[in-house]
Amino acid sequence: MGIAKTEIFTEAQNEIALFAKAFGHPARVAILQHLFKINTCVCGDLVSEIGLAQPTISQHLKELKQLGLIKGNVEGTSVCYCINPDVWSKMKQIMTEFLDQDLCDNGSCC
């Protein structure tokens, strides 16, 4: 198929998967890390910073923007991107809750 059966899962499960998918490509990881480092936004030097073609970077930025993790600001002919702190912290909470699950640790077979 290639298409996930999202109907059979909870909203929460689908949301975790959606955010996780955003980090599921090293280019998007690199973009986000760079945006955190160069906090005063950043324009298209992401293209030279990361070694991918301009349309490719643009596509990755679009995905991150659609999720709300980053914002884009037009400045003349260039566009400034930056982390959207509100969505980032909401996402962080959701992911952390998932990662922090505890094994009740009362013996097991493995």
Partner DNA sequence: TTGTTATATTGCAATATTACGATTAAAGAA
Partner DNA sequence: TTCTTTAATCGTAATATTGCAATATAACAA
Site track 33-72 with a second copy (rule: CB under 8 A), x = hit: x--x--xxx--------xxx------------------xx
Distance, in Å, from the CA atom of 6 to the CA atom of 19, rounded to the nearest integer, reads 14
In 3D space, the residue among 64, 74, 78 whose CA is nearest the CA of residue 31 turns out to be: 64
Q: Which of residues 43-72 bind DNA (CB under 7 A)?
A: 43-44, 47, 52-56, 58-63, 72
18 Cβ contact list (under 8 Å, min separation 6): 67
Total residues at interface with DNA (CB under 7 A): 29
Q: Which of 2, 55, 76, 107 binds a second copy (CB under 8 A)?
A: 107
- Please identify which residue in the block is written with the tokens 């400045």: 75
Backbone phi, psi, residue 53, to 5°: -65, 155
Q: Please report, in angstroms and rounded to a whole number, the separation of the first and last CA atoms in the chain.
A: 33
Residue 85 contacts DNA per CB under 7 A: no
Which chain residues interact with a second copy by CB under 8 A? 4-6, 8-10, 13-14, 16-17, 20-30, 32-33, 36, 39-41, 50-52, 71-73, 75, 80-85, 91-92, 95-96, 98-110
